[in-house]
Structures are given as C-alpha cells and as structure tokens.
Structure 1
Amino acid sequence: MSAAAPSLTFLALCLPFLAALVAPALTRRMGHNAVWILALAPALAFIHFLGFLPAVADGGAITGGYAWVPSFRVSFSWLIDGLSLTFALLITGIGTLIVLYSGGYLKDDAHLGRFLSFMFMFMGAMLGLVVSDGFLMLFVFWELTSITSFLLIGFDHTREASRRAAIQALVVTGTGGLALLAGLIVIWNITGVTQLSELIGLGDVLRESPFYLMALVLVLGGAFTKSAQFPFHFWLPNAMEAPTPVSAYLHSATMVKAGIYLLMRLNPVLGDTAAWTTILPVFGGVTLLVGTFLAIRQTDLKQMLAYTTVSSLGLLVMLTGFGSDHAIAAAVLYLVAHSMFKGCLFMVAGLIDHGTGSRDITRLGGLRAAMPITFAAAMAAAFSMGGLPPFFGFLGKEEIYEALWHADTWSLAFVAVAVIGNGLMFVIGFAVAIKPFFGPVRETPLHAHEGPALMWIGPAVLALGGLVAALVSPVTHRFVSSPMASAVHGAPELVTISLIPHIGAPLLLSLITIVFAVAVYLGLDRARRFADRSLRAIGWGPDRGFDQFMSGLVRGSRRITGVMQPGRLDIYMGVTFVFIALALLVPMAVYDEWPARPVWPEDAAFHELTIMAIAFIGLLAVIYARDRLTAIVSLGIQGFAVALIFMLFGAPDLSFTQFMVETLSVVILALVMTRLRLTAADHRPTGQKLIDFSIALACGTGFMLYLLAVTQQPFRPYLSEFFEAYSKVIAHGGNIVNVIIVDFRGTDTLGEIAVVMITGLAILSLIRVRASRPDQPIVDNDPDSEPTPTGAWRKGRKLGEGA
C-alpha cells in the first residue's frame, strides 16, 4: 500500500461530511441543479473504493488509520476487505444516485439544502461504520447513523407523524446502540483486542469464554434493533414518514443493513455455536413471515415495500445464522440483489407519487403509457425481487434453496418459511410493478406524467445493474460475491452459481414459489382482507406497545419527580445530607474500617492549643447565637481557625485561600440573609429539630471519622517526588507550588479563578440590590400587585434594578 493511500482513504471517508458542509450554501446559489456538483462527493468516493477491487479479489485486505488514544490502543482505523468494500460501494454508488434523485424529488422545496446536508451526514456515518476497524470508531459511527436518520425521518417536523416516527427510530436504535457498546466492551475484556482485524482470528477464545453468551446477546440487541428484527420491526415501516429519497437509501444501502453487516462481520468469531445457529434462524424466520404478512395488508406503495424490507432483513439474518458455505453465499448474493431492486422500487414509488399525486395502489392504473421509463424500471426490479432470470435476484433465490434444502426436520421447516416468504415478496414486487401501470386509466390528483431525468436515472441504473450483474456473473463473483463470502465465512470461499438452471431441489422449490405467488397475486384483494381481519383480531402489537411504554415512562417520571422534587428546599437538603452521611458511615461499618482513636499529643504547643480553643469557642458561638446573622458570622471563626492551622503547618497558599473563602462565604450569606423575610425565632417543631440534629450529627461524625482514617494512612510520597523531579525539567520553574498551580493544574486553577470571579459578580449584584426594608424579599412574586407603602417595589420591578 502506497504512503499516500491512507490519506486518500481518509479523504474518501470525509467527502460526504465535506459535502454536508457546503450543501446548504450551494443549493441557495444554484437551486436543485447543485446536486450535479454535490453528487461528485459520493461518486469520487465510489471511484476510490473501486480501486481496491483487484487487491481484495486476490484475498487481500487493506488496513490503515491513525492513533487516537494510544495508551488504550484506540485508533481511527479502517479495514477494507470483501465485506466492507461491497458495502462501501453500495453506500457510495447508490448514494450518488439518491443525491441526484433528491434534486428532482425536492426540486421546489425551500429546505433542499438542509435535507442534502442531513443526507450526506447519514451517508458519511454509514460509510464510516462499515469500514471501521476499531471498536470505538465502529460505535461512534453506529450511533451517528441513528442520529442522522432521526433528522431525516423527522425532516418534515411540522407533522406529528414524522416527529413520532423519528423519535421511535431514535429510541429503538439508540437503545440497541448502547447494548452494542456493552457487547463490544465485553468482547474487549474477553480477548484484549480493540480492532476487528485482530478479533477475527480469536473466535475460539471468544466462543470458549464463560461470558460468550453475554457478549452474543448484547451484540444481537444492537443488530436486531438496527435491522428491525421481530419484535423491533415496527420502527422501520413508520420511518416511511421520511421523504422518499430517504426511504430508498435507508432500505437499500444504509441504516437497516448496518445490523446485517455487524452479524456478518462477527460471524467468524461469534458464529458456529448452538446459540448462534438457533437464535438467528428463529428470529430471522419469524421476521420474514411477519414482514410479508404485514406487507400484504398494505395499499400504500411505500408501506408495501417497507414491510418487504423487514422480510428481506429477516431472510438475511436467517441465512447468516445457518452459517454454511451455501448459506453465506446466499446471504451475500441476496444482499447485493436486494440493495439494487429495493432502491429501484422505492424510487419508482416516488416517481409515481410525484407524477400522479397518489401512492394508493387501489387508486392507480393505466400509467404504462404516461410513465414508460418508470414502468420498465419497475418491471426489471420486480423480476429480480421475484427471483426470476435473467436478474441477479434469481441467483440469490436459487442459492437460498440450495443452502436450506436438507432432509432433517429443522431444515425443512426453514425451507417452508423461505418458500412462503419469497412467494409473498414476489407478490408485492409484481403488485407494485403491474397494478399501477396496467388496467383502466384512473383519475389521480395530478395529471400523470413521467418524472424528470434526475429522478429516473437512479431506478434505471439500478434496474440495469441487476441485469448486468447476473449476465456477467463470473465477473461479479470474482470481484464481489466471492471476496464478500470469504470475509463473512472467515475462510476462502468461491461462489460459482450462474443463470443456467440446474435440475434439482432448488429449481423445484423455485417453481413451487412461483406457483404459490401467482395464486396469491390473483387473489390479492382477498389476501389483503384476510390479513387485515387477522391483525384486527390480534389487536395489540409492538407499535402500540411502544406508545404505551413511552406514555408509561412519562407518567412514571412525573410521579417520581413529584416525590423527589416537591419544591421544598429543606427536603432537598435533608435528603442530600442523609445520603452524604450514609456514604461516609456505611462503608466503614460494613468493612470494619473504623479509624483508630486519636491520641492527644503530649508535646502540643501553646499556640496549637490556643487555635483549638478558638475553634471550640466559635462552635459554641454558633450553637448559642440568638439570631441567624450572628450564627453566620460565628461560622467564620471555625474557618479562620482552620486557616491558621494550614499556615502553622507550612501551607500559606492554602491558608490564604481558606481566608478568602471564609470571608466571601460570610459576606454572601450575610447579604442574602438581610434580604430575606425571616422570623427571629426558629419555629420548627421539636421532632423536626431532632431529625435535623441527627442528620447534622451523622454528617459531622462521618467527615470526622473519614478524615481521621485518611490521615492515619501511610504517606505515599510518589506524587511529591514526581513534582520535585519534573517541575524544573518540564515546566522550567524552581517554585514547585507555582509550577503545580500554573502548569500541572493549569485547568483546575483556571476553574478556581472562574469560580472566584462569578462569586465576585454575585456579591456585586447583591450589593447593588437595595430595599427600603430589610425584611422585604428580593423578588416580587406578584408583579401585578400594588406598590408597597414605601414605594420600594413597583409594578413590573425587575431583579437588580436600582431604587
């Protein structure tokens, strides 16, 4: 790898974020035509990653990056092998088409620049995720995809449905991201590595660990929520509230594929166990069936496609869980095919909506003549989605049946699941491609017309790509399928399937799938009514459960807040000091770490005894003070006594600080007390006084015992030795105290200065507040009240105004 290559890769990863910065300004200047320039960013990144194809096809992997936190072996690094390279090409290639499509779809939108900026950030986050080598880098980009998708899904923030869908996606995927972080930390602790490239060879170490199941469950939590596996599937169809370009990109190459990428990436180290080969196929199979069943019910084009995406993700998880050579090859082929045909069909749905003003399949028909390019792209994508030759989806479907077909009951059950799922996806694909374009012409809100070139370039290219990839399948397998399958499997694997049908079980299962799909398609209206009745009979579902959970969370938070935050300062302070006392006393009691009884020194000097006597006198003065102001002033006696102790023991800087703090505290408290309306006597009941006395005594005793325990520990001079050794060498200062304050603790000193400055400003503000009566409160709680007899507080008076 050349020396310049890491810089070029880093630039390719930054290109989407750079485009996000300039998109708003460029669209303000050029309008929607700016997309032609902005699309160069993902296009150039696509070209850069294309250059890695020969090396990766020969079994190589490109790594690089920069040290981030070397002491923890954390780096900003990338790993480009068959898996990450395929994802990078899909993200940047389809991303280029989506940017152009957005320019046509949102041509007249005033917020096109903001939309494109969000889209580029989303693209950059997904690109960074799939090439990340470091655990921390992977997690950062993982969460960034959740944040940017939240911005895109809620783009039309004036609609409540958009806001709800955005929050739902963020909550579900964000929670899964936290589970993933915990899983990566567990894996780090088991293996001691922080790089995926190092982790791949430690599969046996991870699988044999007693914490393997914990790591697996946490990782699956992140993957299942991101890739919408049952029962977390509900957020994905709701995300269709986003503009169609977002839906097309989200479902084809980004976001929802992140969980699939994670499972494929970790298959060599987490796979090949009973838990892996059970959990993934079961959840994947259930998601496949649930998604297709829900898709049959829908009449909105985007919703129909969204639920089939849920099904496809379930199919990919199921195949990854099986983990055999053919299953991995099938998952790879289907993932690439799905990216192309699903991106195409979503853009077709957007073209139909743009050209007719409707996405309701029951109100569309006869559009073939008015929208010929859209129709051709839709049919090509439907052929691939249905697994028909000569499209790439056919290769994926044949390999699926080859992988699942075995004589045992377990395999046959999943063969039935795959046949039903593929058949229903066949139905939806052709329903989207046929029903809007055939039959009598129906009246639509807009006069039906073909979309602009910016909008049909994307679906045309993806439809053609699905055809070409299948026709030149040996080349596709050489550079894409085989390297990707090898990376997922963790060992070299050769994918050889072609368009030439082979007599056997896979072909027979394909014919059964087609017959089943045609039968359902002919009775689609009855199937839709049956699905609707069934779901209404079930009633409750995860989507409704999410609303109930969020509502319960809000109600619970309000109740807890009502208990914990009742609005009484005395309760807040009491609870705080109770927990301080518990934190100090309970550990010493539990672990029997009470300090030794202090012994009065026989050689105590007279001045030391005098200072102790002063502190004791100050304590008596506070206790027996007749009013609060006298008590406040008396509190300063203890503070000054402590400052004198610091001075006697050779800490003049600390003594000076103590003098300042005590002086400022007395001044501030005195100023506040003189402005509050307080009674001269303490009217607390005896019971409350006893409670407060007990809390105060517990806190005082706890601090006393804690300080005694600390001072009885042996002195460790290593910090002093460090400062003595390096103050002159590093900071070039002979006064060690000054060096510590200014250099070693510079930030801390700056914070202390800021605190003193803020305190001074607060004192200045208090001094400037004047009231004619010392018992008059500073703030008039009723600004509409009549002026006081002295005229000091008038209607509308503000805090800090002079008399």
Structure 2
Amino acid sequence: MPEMTSDMTWVAMLLPFAAAVLAPWIVSRLGANGAWVLALAPALAFAHFAGFLPEIANGERVTGGYAWVPSLNLSFSWFIDGLSLTFALLITGIGTLIVLYAGGYMKGHPQQGRFIGFILLFMGAMLGLVVSDSFLMLFVFWELTSITSFLLIGFDHTREASRRAALQALVVTGGGGLILLAGMIFIWNITGVSQLSLLLSTGDALRESPFYLAALLLVLGGAFTKSAQFPFHFWLPNAMEAPTPVSAYLHSATMVKAGVYLLMRLNPVMGETPAWEILLPFFGGITLIVGSVLAVRQTDLKLMLAYTTVASLGLLVMLTGFDTEHAVEAAVLYLVAHSLFKGALFMVAGAIDHEAGTRDITRLGGLGKLMPITFTAAILSGVSMAGLPPLFGFLAKEEIYYALAGSDPRAILFTAVAVIGNALMFVIAFAVGLKPFIGKEGPTPKHAHEGPVLLWIGPLTLAILSLLGALFSGLAHRFISSPMASAVDGEAQTVTIGLIPSLGAALALSVLTVLIGLVLYLGIERLRAAVDRLVTGLGISPDRGFDHFIAGLVRFSTSVTRLVQNGRLETYITLSFVFIAAVLLVTPIVFNELPRDLVLPRDVDLHEMAILVIAVIGVIAVLTAKDRLTAIVCLGIQGFAVAVIFLLYGAPDLSFTQFMVETLSVIILALVMTRLRLSLSDHRPMAARLFDGSLAIACGLGFGLMLAASTSGPFDGSLSAFFAEHSKIIAHGANVVNVIIVDFRGVDTLGEIAVVMITGLSILALIRIRVGGAPAAPAMAPPGASAEGIRPSKTKGGKRS
C-alpha cells in the first residue's frame, strides 16, 4: 500500500492543547464570544486532516513522526488511513461545534474558560489516540482521555453525584487502560513490533501465537471498559452528571468509541478467529439489548440518550465481530451515522434544558412553535436514529440487516437481537426528537424560547450533514465509508448502498423494525412501566455492584495497610528481609538455577585465615553480648574484617570506604542507642529469636548461593575492558574506580549521597527528640540513675533545658 509522509500533523495534534492553555484567558476577556476564537483551533485541525481525503480515498496511507528511544523501538509517530482519518474528522469537526455550543450553554458560568479548556484538552487526547502509530503513544493518549474525562464529568465538583460519577468513570476506564497496556505488551512480544502500521503487515503472527487468547482477552478488557460494554456499561449513564456539552461530545461521538476504534484497528490481525467471532457478538448483543431496554425506562432526556448510546456501542461491537461479508461496512456506516445524530440529539436535549428548565419528558410538550430551529435539528436527527430515509441512519440500518440476515441459527439469533434493539431505539428517537415538540406546552419551570445561535448551530449542522450524507451517498462512500471499511477489513472494500433500497430480507426487516417501533412508541407509557417492573423485580444492578466492589476494596486495603504498615520499624525490617530471602532462595530453586560447582579456595594464607576467624569471633560476640552497647561495638568487627580483606586483595579505596562506614555506623548506632529509652538487654522470647536467626541464616545463605553462582561461570571481562579503555579518554581520570563512581554512574552515586544525607538528618532528628520539652534521657543510664533516666538540669530562670 503506498504511503506518504506528513511533517505538519504534529502541529494539528498540538492545536487543541495550545487552545486549552489559552481558553481561560480568552474567555475572561471575550466572554461567551471567546468560543468563536477557541473554535478556530479544532477547525484548523479539521482542515488539515480533510486535506488528506483525496490521498486516503486513493488507497494511500499517511505516516510520520520522530524516533524517541530508537534502541527500544519507541517513537512519537502517527499513522493515518481511512479509519483514523474518519475518527480525526469526527473529533475535530464535532469538537468545533461542541466548543461553540459550550460557549452558549455555559454562558455566564464563572468557570466557563476552565470548562472549555478541559474540552479542548480531551479533544487533543482523543485526537492523539486515533492517529497514534506507536503502542506507547496510543496508551499515553488512551489514559489521558480517561483523566480529562474525569475532569469534565466531575466539573461541578460541589455535587456528590458528580464526584462519584467522575471517580467511577476513572476507575473503570483507567483500570481498563492498564489491562490494555498488558495486552499491548503481549502483542509487542509476540510480533516484535511496537507500531500499528507495522503490526498490520504481520499477517497471521498474532492469530497463530499460543498467547493469542491471552492477548485478545486483555485487549477486550481495555476496549469493553472504554466503550461501556456489558457488564461495564453502568459508568456511561452515570457520567450524564456532567454538563451537556460533555455528554454530546465524550459520551456519544468520541471517547466511548475509543474501544470500538481499537477493535476495528486490530480486526485485520486479531479477527476471523473463533474467539473473536464468539466474544464480540455475544457481549455486543447483550449490551445492545440491555442498553435499549433500560433506555425505555428513563424519563430524563439525557439518560434516554445515554442508554441508547450504550446500545449503539453494543451494536458496533457486535458488527465488528461478525464474520459476514458486509458486517464491517455496516459497522462503519453506523459509527458515522451515530456520531452525527447522537451528538445532535444530546445538544438538543441540552438546549431544551437550558431554555425550558427541565429534561423530564413527562413535563415537556409544544416546544416546536417556541423553538423551531431546535425542532428542525431534533426531528432530522431523530429520523436518522430511527433509521428512516432520507437520512444517513437509514443507509446504516439497511446495511446492518443486509450483513446479519441469514438462515443459520446464529444469523437468526443476532438478527432478532438487532431488530429488537433497533425497534427500541426507534422509540427513543421519536420520544426525544419529536414528543417534546408536539402537543400542548408542558408545565416547565421556564417559558421556553429559541436559544442563541451558539446553542442551535451545532445540532442543526450535524443534522444537515446526516441529510447530505444520505443524499450524496456516492461522495460520502468514496471519501469516508469505503476507505474506512478497507482499513477495518484489511482489504479494499467499496461501499455502494444508497437511498433506494433493494427488495429483499434487509428491506423486510427494516419495515418490521419500523412497525414494532411505532406500536411501542404509541404505548410508551405502558412500556416504560412494564420495563420498570421488570428491572425492579430482577434487582440486578452493576452500579450497586461497583459500590460494593469499591467498599470491599477499601476494607481490604485498610486491612493490608494495618498489617504491613503498622508503624513498627521491626515489622518493616522483618518483611523486607523475608522478601529478600524469598527472592534469593525460592527463585533459583523453582527455576533450577542453584550453583552446581562450588569453587572453594585451595591456597589460603595464614593471615587470611586469621581475618576470617576474627570475623567469626565477632559474630559470636554479637550473639552472646549481654547488653546492646557491647553488641554494637562487636558488630563493627565484621565490617573491619571485610575491610581488611578488601585491602589484602588490592582494593584500598574500597577498604578505606568500608573502614569509614563501619566506624561511623558504630559511633552513630551507639549514640542513638544512648538517647533512646531501650532496655539494656534483649528480652525477646526464644521463638522470636529462633525466627530472626533463621531469617538471618536464610538471607546469608541466599547471598552466598548468589555469589557462588555468579563466580562459578566464566568471567566476562568486556565491562572491565570498556572502563579501562575509556576512563582516561572520556572522563579524564586515571583511577578507574573513581571514574566509575563519579562519571559513569554519577547519578547513582548522587542518589546514594542523598540517601546518606537523609539518613543523617533523620538520625539528628532522632537524637534531638525531646520528651516533655526536655532532651530524652539515655536508655543506658549510668549506675545510680533513676529509672526515668538523668533528670534535666535547671537554668537560672528555673526553666528546664
């Protein structure tokens, strides 16, 4: 496939971030009109990506980027084909309209600039996600969308419901992102590539790997949480606590489709397997039914749209995993159609709430005469959502039935699922797009009237685009649908469906959907009551399950914290040595890496043996010491013995360092011990002594075995030769040891110095601890002192010092 490069794409990617930084300042100066200025950033980005349409339509791909860590094959790179280009255009195009809409919707809000800034930050993150080529770059932007959506959902942070919804969305989607990271690492290790453009050329490498199922499950974990698939669907309706511009942008047109984007992107290399074709349609079908049924139960316009968004995402996942010839084409058409009509309907719901003061459908009516432009946008978008001509949604629905219809049981099952789901979404489409605007005016808190241009320009533009996309379907397919379908399928595809339907099963299913939808719409009140009784009777709520999960997690973490972080230094040291012993002993035993040939010294000089004997005597002295101060002094014997061994084997620098460390350790420990209230001797019970002794032996044995294993193999002198050769040339130092410490591992040395400094400050603070305003009395008091230690002296003023 031919490729072209673009060196300016990074500018388009950075435009939303730059506008986000300037948003508070611009809005503070221009007010709501600042939205027109800020909308220029996504509009320019849209123009940049629209410039690629002819090349992408001709089968080319756009790449570019910069090497970041070449040795690890990490890069900041982008990859644009029909799939990523369509998403980029939706993100920047709808994003431009959302910025304008936010300017009108949030007019007068003291934090309007901050809000639009968050919108633009999310836009940049989502744009980076869909054009990323590097796995690492995709993951960074993936998690950034979760963080920015957290800020947007919890924008009204004074409300508990907003804070809870934001936290819930962050936990679910952020946790899914970590699962996705593991899946990407699996894919990286299986294929050896870390870029999507290269991954698509690996053929069946992923499908044939024994780790394919593990990688697939991890990828699905990330995609399902982001795109609100059952049983993770609950976070999306709760996210409706966010202001309506957030709902219209994040939770209909962009963020929630990130998971669908990922599945579509990986379809050429992970699709067409039994696991793919079972899991995706199964979970997608369940999500479609659950979302559409729960939507009918709602009376809040935003919640009705939110649950149908869940249903639509399920339909997209189901189609992506289906294995028929036109399933990919149907998924592509429906994704574009859904972005247009759902974004418009959410903005309509926000405009109704803004002007009428309520989103309760039972209190709304007669708004058509009062808000004619909004009504026009609503009815066009509702018709598209219902799948009726002459809107783009009709093309998508016809292609869906054309792809699913079949005579085998599997096709019949999923076709029935699609008919039921689409019929229920037909009900919601007219409940939102028509019902509030007809009949007599309802008892709304405010007397409604048409909103300002910033409130209706967005939904009207999207509705008109849905109409034009269907009327000029040939152009839409050439530049959008066909290139996107080709990218998802991995092979060239040509979408040809138009407004004139062909007689057959697809048209019959469409008619059946409309008839069922009309019947259910006419009895929507009874339907709502029946669904409410059904859901209440079942008593199943993943939302409550999430609350129980979080509560249990908090209790578990509290218990673990109390166990391992109990404030006792003894516990921390014991746990540290337990893990050290486990790593040193369990790992070589499990992996059969114990040293086989122990190399024992043959010629040991008398003075060397004497030093070893002194070290052993020091150990015995420590163990048999009657008081702590004697044990501390005896403890230095081992350190001095090791220092002498370093000296005998030609390491005077290391020996000097060891002497200094041991001397300071003995002095500092003795000083500290004399300032703490400790018993003179060790009063631990025998069981504690045996455990500590066993732990010490285990650690010593582990280190001994590790050293034996390290020295039993052939010596690799390449590193020594490198330092000897380059120390003088690079670091201008003749002493190789000094050069290593100061230059080659200077940062490590700096860290060690910092640790020593912090330790010294901690010891100083410990020494200066005062009890009741006086210095702490020595633990090892001299003979004749009171049990409370030395009494503090008095100053001339009678105050204790």
TM-score, normalised to structure 2, is 0.93
Instruction: Please state if 1:413 is matched with 2:404.
Output: no
Aligned-partner SS, 1:499: coil
Change (3 A) 1:216 1:585: closer
- In 2, Cα distance between the equivalents of 1:627 and 1:690? 19
Give the AA of the match of 1:537.
Answer: G
- Shift in Å, 1:558: 2.3
Change (3 A) 1:582 1:680: same
- Shift in Å, 1:767: 5.7
Q: Residue 425 of structure 2 corresponds to which residue in structure 1?
A: 425
- In 2, Cα distance between the equivalents of 1:385 and 1:598? 79
Change (3 A) 1:477 1:603: closer
Q: Residue 357 of structure 1 corresponds to which residue in structure 2?
A: 357
Aligned-partner SS, 1:325: coil
- Shift in Å, 1:203: 3.1
**CA deviation vs aligned residue, 1:771-794 (integer Å, no higher than 9, x gap):** 7665379xxxxxxxxxx985889x
- Shift in Å, 1:392: 0.8
Change (3 A) 1:223 1:583: closer
**Paired residues, what number?**
785
- In 1, Cα distance between the equivalents of 2:487 and 2:2? 23
8 A contact 2:90–2:339 mirrored in 1: yes
Q: Residue 775 of structure 1 corresponds to which residue in structure 2?
A: 777
1:329-340 paired onto structure 2 within 5 Å? 329-340=329-340
8 A contact 2:598–2:712 mirrored in 1: no
Give the AA of the match of 2:25.
Answer: A
Instruction: Please state if 1:342 is matched with 2:370.
Output: no
Change (3 A) 1:678 1:520: same
- Shift in Å, 1:88: 0.3
Aligned-partner SS, 2:110: coil
More deviation in 595-604 or 712-721? 595-604
Give the AA of the match of 1:113.
Answer: G
8 A contact 2:675–2:767 mirrored in 1: no
Instruction: Please state if 1:667 is matched with 2:640.
Output: no
8 A contact 1:625–1:631 mirrored in 2: yes
**CA deviation vs aligned residue, 1:385-419 (integer Å, no higher than 9, x gap):** 11111111111111112212222232222222222
- Shift in Å, 1:508: 2.1
8 A contact 1:639–1:659 mirrored in 2: yes
Q: Residue 56 of structure 1 corresponds to which residue in structure 2?
A: 56
Q: Residue 474 of structure 1 corresponds to which residue in structure 2?
A: 474
- In 2, Cα distance between the equivalents of 1:310 and 1:514? 21
Change (3 A) 1:151 1:720: same
Change (3 A) 1:619 1:74: same
**CA deviation vs aligned residue, 1:545-572 (integer Å, no higher than 9, x gap):** 1111111212222233334444444344
More deviation in 665-674 or 706-715? 706-715
Q: Residue 244 of structure 1 corresponds to which residue in structure 2?
A: 244
Q: Residue 394 of structure 2 corresponds to which residue in structure 1?
A: 394
8 A contact 1:325–1:493 mirrored in 2: no
Change (3 A) 1:726 1:231: same
- In 1, Cα distance between the equivalents of 2:382 and 2:743? 68
More deviation in 342-351 or 111-120? 111-120
1:114-263 paired onto structure 2 within 5 Å? 114-263=114-263
8 A contact 1:405–1:412 mirrored in 2: yes
- In 1, Cα distance between the equivalents of 2:480 and 2:776? 83
- Shift in Å, 1:108: 1.9
Q: Residue 367 of structure 2 corresponds to which residue in structure 1?
A: 367
- In 2, Cα distance between the equivalents of 1:91 and 1:587? 50
- In 1, Cα distance between the equivalents of 2:529 and 2:763? 74
- Shift in Å, 1:3: 13
Matched-pair identity in %: 66
Change (3 A) 1:497 1:599: closer
- In 1, Cα distance between the equivalents of 2:537 and 2:652? 80
- Shift in Å, 1:248: 0.4
**CA deviation vs aligned residue, 1:313-352 (integer Å, no higher than 9, x gap):** 1111121122433221111111111101000000011111
Change (3 A) 1:41 1:776: farther
Change (3 A) 1:399 1:690: closer
- Shift in Å, 1:121: 1.8
- Shift in Å, 1:186: 2.2
Give the AA of the match of 1:593.
Answer: L
- In 2, Cα distance between the equivalents of 1:489 and 1:589? 49
Change (3 A) 1:445 1:669: farther
8 A contact 1:622–1:630 mirrored in 2: yes
**CA deviation vs aligned residue, 1:469-506 (integer Å, no higher than 9, x gap):** 11111111111111111111111111111112333322
More deviation in 384-393 or 720-729? 720-729
- In 2, Cα distance between the equivalents of 1:660 and 1:23? 59
Q: Residue 643 of structure 1 corresponds to which residue in structure 2?
A: 643
- In 1, Cα distance between the equivalents of 2:671 and 2:768? 11
**CA deviation vs aligned residue, 1:521-576 (integer Å, no higher than 9, x gap):** 11000000000000000002211211111112122222333344444443443343
- Shift in Å, 1:694: 3.1
1:663-742 paired onto structure 2 within 5 Å? 663-742=663-742
- Shift in Å, 1:77: 1.4
Change (3 A) 1:438 1:703: same
- In 1, Cα distance between the equivalents of 2:794 and 2:254? 65
Aligned-partner SS, 1:206: coil
- In 2, Cα distance between the equivalents of 1:93 and 1:709? 63
Q: Residue 748 of structure 2 corresponds to which residue in structure 1?
A: 748
8 A contact 2:6–2:62 mirrored in 1: no
- In 1, Cα distance between the equivalents of 2:738 and 2:689? 46
- Shift in Å, 1:706: 3.9
8 A contact 1:325–1:489 mirrored in 2: no
Q: Residue 271 of structure 1 corresponds to which residue in structure 2?
A: 271
8 A contact 1:323–1:489 mirrored in 2: no
Instruction: Please state if 1:76 is matched with 2:85.
Output: no
Q: Residue 284 of structure 1 corresponds to which residue in structure 2?
A: 284
- Shift in Å, 1:746: 1.5
Change (3 A) 1:659 1:516: same
- In 2, Cα distance between the equivalents of 1:317 and 1:387? 19
More deviation in 560-569 or 663-672? 560-569
- In 1, Cα distance between the equivalents of 2:83 and 2:667? 68
Aligned-partner SS, 2:433: helix
8 A contact 1:146–1:170 mirrored in 2: yes
- Shift in Å, 1:682: 2.9
- In 2, Cα distance between the equivalents of 1:487 and 1:711? 55
Instruction: Please state if 1:463 is matched with 2:463.
Output: yes
- In 2, Cα distance between the equivalents of 1:314 and 1:739? 62
Which structure 2 residue ranges, 5 or more long, are not aligned?
780-789
Change (3 A) 1:665 1:23: farther
Aligned-partner SS, 1:251: coil
Q: Residue 780 of structure 1 corresponds to which residue in structure 2?
A: none
Aligned-partner SS, 1:75: strand
Instruction: Please state if 1:452 is matched with 2:452.
Output: yes
More deviation in 373-382 or 627-636? 627-636
- Shift in Å, 1:433: 1.6
Q: Residue 35 of structure 2 corresponds to which residue in structure 1?
A: 35
More deviation in 239-248 or 741-750? 741-750
Q: Residue 787 of structure 2 corresponds to which residue in structure 1?
A: none
- Shift in Å, 1:601: 5.2
Change (3 A) 1:414 1:572: same
Q: Residue 784 of structure 1 corresponds to which residue in structure 2?
A: none
Change (3 A) 1:305 1:690: same
- In 2, Cα distance between the equivalents of 1:600 and 1:194? 49
Give the AA of the match of 2:294.
Answer: L
Give the AA of the match of 2:416.
Answer: A
Q: Residue 605 of structure 2 corresponds to which residue in structure 1?
A: 604
Change (3 A) 1:602 1:93: closer
Give the AA of the match of 1:725.
Answer: E
